[in-house]
Amino acid sequence: RGGPVRGRAPASGSMKRSQPTRVAPSAPQPDIDVHDPDGVRLQKLLAAAGVGSRRQCETLISAGRVQVDGVTVTELGVRIDPTRQVVHVDGDRIQLDESRVYLAFNKPAGVVTSMNDELGRADIADFLRGRSERLFHVGRLDADTEGLLLLMNDGELAHRLQHPKYGVLKTYLAQVPGPLARDLGKRLRAGIELDDGPVAVDSFRVVDSQPGKALVEVVLHEGRKHIVRRMLAEVGHPVISLVRTQVGPIRLADTKPGKWRALSSAEVSALYAAAGL
């Protein structure tokens, strides 16, 4: 039967900043008990999260590749509380709380980023009929902008994904009037001045160019209001249409406007990694 499982806690400061989700080797520390007698068996939770079959998850645990709250667990009897304990497999965080919901929504143009618009305009909730969870949107897209909007009920992850401190990249495709100056990308990467301060893109490239218009890709970690539209207008190319195609590792892919899809467990783990969790 499952009993207390003891392991070694990682040394303070051993986690590298450049790889925030990788669990570094631990130095000898006092034993820490991660077993919760009222919890669920660890291998069962891992299998339910899509890590592998029950047998494969038992092998991972026995091989010392699973950590609970920073403690390497090798005994198969351990039980944990998935709502409060943090689990990593090979350094990647695994979300085990089945009450957590993570959706990728393709917001159509003309829809406001709100769950309950006070003016009665079309909003996100109109596309989530039948879902009982209290979801909130990660950041905003203005009404005229289409594309990827992450919806979840994970407050800590949502906060980090929005905060520029954590540098989570957002990718946009913008159609703008042409022709484009040869040094436009260089100017935007170097940074330009807006009314509320300087801004620089992390990446810029021309996807397609035709007489009188061009399609450009803009990547940045800024989250200020209308930031892409304002910076392109500042350099003389006001946006004709704008679509967000990616947030961190999550791509819009082939999700149709007005539709949503649940993120896979691998995508959720990748989001945690991008946010440094």
Same domain for 254 and 139?
yes
Inter-CA distances, 277 with 10, 17, 33, 122, Å? 15, 11, 22, 34
* Residue pointed to by tokens 């979840």: 152
Same domain for 110 and 60?
no
Q: Three-state SS for 80?
A: strand
CA 226/CA 233 separation, integer angstroms: 11
Q: For the purposes of burial, counting CB atoms within 10 Å of the CB of 186, is it exposed (0-12), middle (13-18) or buried (19 or more)? A: exposed
- The 8-class DSSP code of residue 179 comes to P
69: left (phi over 0), alpha (psi -120 to 50) or beta: left
Distance of CA 116 to the CA centre of its chain: 23
Same domain for 86 and 106?
no
Each residue's pLDDT tens digit, 109-128: 999 999 988 998 999 999 99
Same domain for 82 and 107?
no
Each residue's pLDDT tens digit, 225-235: 899 999 999 99
Same domain for 163 and 211?
yes
Range(s) of the domain holding residue 50: 40-94
What would the two tokens of residue 173 be?
A: 């495709």
pLDDT of residue 89 exceeding 80, the answer is: yes
Residues tagged active-site:
142
- The DSSP bridge pattern shows strands 203-210 and 260-262 to be unpaired
Query: Considering the entire predicted model, what is its pTM?
Result: 0.78
Same domain for 262 and 167?
yes
Same domain for 73 and 116?
no
pLDDT of residue 31 exceeding 60, the answer is: no
**Where a domain ends, among 27, 60, 94?**
94
Same domain for 88 and 108?
no
Same domain for 130 and 243?
yes
For residues 249-254, average pLDDT: 93
**Where a domain ends, among 64, 94, 124?**
94
Torsion of CA 243, 249, 254, 258, to 10 degrees: -60
What CATH number has the domain bearing residue 264? Answer: 3.30.2350.10
Same domain for 72 and 115?
no
12 lies in some domain: no
Each residue's pLDDT tens digit, 51-85: 889 999 999 999 999 999 999 999 998 999 998 99
**Where a domain ends, among 73, 94, 115?**
94
Same domain for 134 and 247?
yes
Number of domains, the chain:
2
Same domain for 108 and 49?
no
For residues 192-218, average pLDDT: 95
200 lies in some domain: yes
